[in-house]
């Protein structure tokens, strides 16, 4: 493709604008990543390579290294940063830095963040037309005879995404305005603002599984400290500091946080599963919420109440390969709730690993059911609920009320309430029998207790003090 004297590589104005916009958001990117983010409808990334080379001749972009897979990494110069701000329509003060020198080590973390943004955005592959060239009729006939018909382009899976390149910001510092250094806050890997998709703000963190789990847990705590910061609004009320920077959502509480794990070839599937389990269990106090128990007797776990998520961060997590395959609207997310977090069954894509997990889960549930059954039998014996004649339904009535035998913590309250009613009823029968007869009151399930509770039987079989034999 021939070019002009100013742009010898023949790039178009639109492609050069795509290169500036992509580098203005991603800071570091390869030509292939810019192609998939901005215009995946192009047949290949040659146009973006030519655009980067033309911009490099004018001192707007520069390449100082290559990625781990051998692709050349490009980033903006200070002059190119101003041009990218013009292409994106943003103030220069919000563009961030130029990531100078970061490409010399391959920038593995920046490449993973770029892949996450591409997987969530999923720019539609709009068909493009080739640029017409001035050719003679003889040239057209010769080209058609030598090359033959043009093969059709490969079909692209139409999976919807969220936002566009202007919806993203990378390496965003989150700290109080009075903090001169970023040590008191956290630097988000990426921030998505897509109110048109019902997502005012979403914070994204990418983990390449190279840091210890304690480092990730500390990042959760930094996010919580930042979300707790407040400032004065225009009417004098306290409001969260992050809402002065991002559009508030319709829901109360902290904004959501997405954690994307990218193991690559560094760790195996089981090690990844263990890492995710360790991180999420270590940060349970951040996303689990607080149980607010009502007034009453007993421990706070036994009293009726509700879960308060006002100070909890909604956390979603997934892996990069699942996000790339299913997209942001697919069944690729795991959500942290207030209940006990368990091992991830969907992370086991290998059929053998999935069957092994199912076997372990079956053994665990069997042991849990056995423990619940023993606890129920102990409670039945203590309150005298056993009957001499077996019931037609093997499941007792108070257990049927609880639904699944008391597995759910929310249903244990109804079970305890029913047990308390039975206990009070048994106590009332014992008191009535004591007043009716001076014989020792037997449990309600025994024959002596039933005989003592009936006035007619009490007169037929008098005890001591009623004229009978001792």
Q: What is the pLDDT of residues 314-367, one digit of tens each?
A: 999 899 999 999 999 988 888 876 444 444 444 445 566 656 656 766 666 666
Helices H, strands E: what count in the chain? 15, 13
pLDDT, residue 415, reads 52
pLDDT, residue 228, reads 92
> ∠ at Cα 45 (127, 261), nearest 5°?
100
Q: Tokens 């033309």 correspond to what residue?
A: 54
Check residues 71 and 302 and name the one with the higher pLDDT: 71
pLDDT, residue 462, reads 42
Alpha carbon distances (Å) from 330 to 111, 155, 159, 272, 384: 23, 20, 9, 21, 52
Supply 198's token pair: 């019902």
Mean pLDDT rounded to a whole number for the chain = 75
Sheet containing strand 72-76, strands side by side: 29-30, 72-76, 61-66
Q: Are 169 and 190 in contact (CB under 8 A)?
A: yes
CB atoms within 10 A of CB 469: 6
* DSSP string for 301-326: TTS-EEEE-TT---EEEEEHHHHHHH
Tens of pLDDT, residue by residue over 219-266, are: 999 999 999 999 988 888 889 999 999 987 777 889 999 999 999 888
Q: What is the DSSP letter of 197?
A: G
pLDDT, residue 158, reads 67
**Nearest CA among 35, 36, 111 for reference residue 73:** 111
pLDDT, residue 334, reads 84
Check residues 129 and 399 and name the one with the higher pLDDT: 129
Tens of pLDDT, residue by residue over 100-110, are: 888 888 899 99
Tens of pLDDT, residue by residue over 26-42, are: 999 999 999 999 999 88
| Three-state secondary-structure class, residue 21 | helix
Q: Name the least confident of 191-200, 360-369, 448-457.
A: 448-457
Q: Name the least confident of 19-23, 296-300, 329-333.
A: 296-300
Alpha carbon distances (Å) from 161 to 43, 158, 167, 169, 323: 21, 9, 12, 17, 11
- Per-residue pLDDT at 300 exceeds 80: no
Residue 116 host element (H or E):
helix 108-121
**pTM assigned to the model:** 0.67
Phi, psi (deg, nearest 5) at residue 64: -120, 10
Q: Tokens 């079989």 correspond to what residue?
A: 461
- Mean pLDDT is highest, among 181-190, 227-236, 352-361, 398-407, for 227-236
Q: Are 194 and 162 in contact (CB under 8 A)?
A: yes
């Amino acid at each position: 493709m021939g070019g002009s004297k100013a742009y010898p590589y023949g790039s178009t104005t639109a492609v050069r604008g795509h290169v500036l916009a992509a580098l203005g958001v991603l800071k570091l990117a390869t030509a292939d990543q810019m192609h998939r983010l901005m215009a995946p409808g192009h047949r290949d990334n040659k146009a973006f390579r030519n655009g980067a080379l033309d911009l490099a001749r004018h001192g707007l972009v520069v390449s100082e290294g290559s990625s781990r897979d051998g692709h050349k990494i490009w980033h903006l110069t200070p002059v190119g940063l101003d041009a990218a701000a013009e292409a994106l329509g943003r103030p220069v003060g919000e563009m961030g830095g130029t990531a100078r020198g970061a490409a010399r080590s391959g920038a593995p973390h920046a490449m993973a963040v770029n892949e996450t943004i591409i997987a969530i955005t999923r720019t539609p592959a709009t068909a493009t037309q080739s640029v017409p060239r001035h050719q003679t009729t003889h040239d057209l006939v010769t080209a058609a005879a030598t090359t033959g018909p043009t093969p059709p382009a490969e079909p692209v899976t139409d999976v919807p995404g969220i936002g566009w390149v202007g919806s993203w910001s990378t390496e965003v510092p989150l700290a109080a305005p009075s903090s001169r250094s970023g040590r008191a806050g956290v630097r988000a890997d990426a921030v998505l603002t897509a109110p048109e998709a019902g997502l005012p703000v979403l914070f994204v963190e990418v983990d390449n599984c190279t840091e210890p789990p304690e480092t990730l847990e500390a990042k959760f705590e930094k996010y919580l400290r930042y979300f707790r910061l407040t400032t004065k609004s225009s009417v004098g009320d306290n409001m969260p500091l992050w809402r002065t920077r991002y559009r508030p959502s319709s829901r109360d509480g902290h904004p959501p946080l997405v954690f994307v794990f990218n193991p690559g070839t560094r760790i195996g599937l089981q090690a990844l599963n263990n890492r995710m389990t360790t991180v999420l269990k270590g940060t349970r106090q951040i996303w689990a919420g607080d149980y607010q128990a009502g007034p009453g007797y007993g421990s706070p776990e036994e009293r009726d109440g509700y879960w308060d998520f006002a100070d909890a961060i909604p956390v979603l997590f997934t892996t990069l390969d699942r996000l790339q395959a299913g997209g942001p609207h697919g069944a690729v997310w795991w959500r942290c709730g207030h209940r006990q977090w368990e091992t991830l069954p969907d992370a086991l894509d290998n059929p053998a690993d999935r069957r092994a997990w199912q076997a372990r889960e079956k053994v665990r549930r069997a042991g849990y059911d056995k423990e619940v059954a023993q606890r129920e039998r102990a409670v039945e014996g203590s309150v005298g609920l056993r009957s001499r004649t077996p019931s037609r339904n093997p499941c007792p009535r108070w257990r049927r009320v609880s639904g699944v035998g008391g597995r759910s913590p929310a249903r244990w309250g109804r079970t305890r309430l029913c047990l308390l009613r039975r206990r009070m009823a048994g106590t009332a029968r014992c008191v009535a029998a004591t007043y009716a007869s001076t014989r020792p009151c037997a449990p309600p399930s025994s024959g002596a207790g039933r005989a003592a509770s009936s006035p007619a039987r009490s007169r037929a079989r008098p005890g001591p003090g009623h004229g009978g034999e001792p």
